[in-house]
Structure 1
């Protein structure tokens, strides 16, 4: 990915902004030159009623993750970015955008966790999942429905058979 050299709202180039902590969302009380890595699992709370502070457990958020989210949003020119700790969590977040009656096209050779999650979404959320051999872009294209297809999910290389999808060709056809 090429570095964006256009100026941002602050007047600085994106690369310059990314090396600084200056952000309301990322607070550092000690003026560190770069974002500190918080390795704690829990954060001290001022109250037992749950209103003690911005962070409680690192698994639900911490200052390091907030900094990554702020920086990713800047890079992607988005309002917000979400950072999660596993690929399956990321896939779960993405699949929540697929509604009843919509369709997903996925490979016929998927990681077991992906397969289980897609099966669950299909059975309980009314989402149609098409499993196709993603090494052949034509097979993916045949299942594309401009109204119903909400997501084309590609794993490449696949697990366990190590199939390779032509991501560039499939992405181009999906975006036509």
Structure 2
């Protein structure tokens, strides 16, 4: 007992000439499975993309280096790792020998690129402001390459300094 059915359309898809009711069911099910598979694949792709983006943010770490300046401990953090041409955020934490953070000092950062053939040296400076027990500011690197950074700390009429090296991309 087979019924010939005319041209049918399911979910906007033309099924063509369907010869029997079982064929009609088979085509409906196949179309539904295909759509379900596509939908699942899209969801999986979107989930994977979101997971990769979140993972990248977790692994993106600041550049951090610690040195001594006299009897003080100085930790310099660059927001971007590696540092890039243009504006880069810097955070400097200064601690006394007991490990207590110091916020009553003046902190200045001088950064320079040494002279290269056909190019004079570049020298810049930035005074950092106290925010949340750290000194924060911006450094603007005008060129990629090796840069020398000197952190100067003025406290109680005495100035101590420490030097860092940084490669800018």
Q: TM-score range by the shorter chain?
A: under 0.3
Between Structure 1 and Structure 2, the one with more strand by share is 2
Larger relative contact order, structure 1 or 2 (CA cutoff 8 Å, min sep 6): 2
- Scaled by the length of structure 1, the TM-score of the pair is 0.23
Between Structure 1 and Structure 2, the one with more helix by share is 1
- Scaled by the length of structure 2, the TM-score of the pair is 0.23
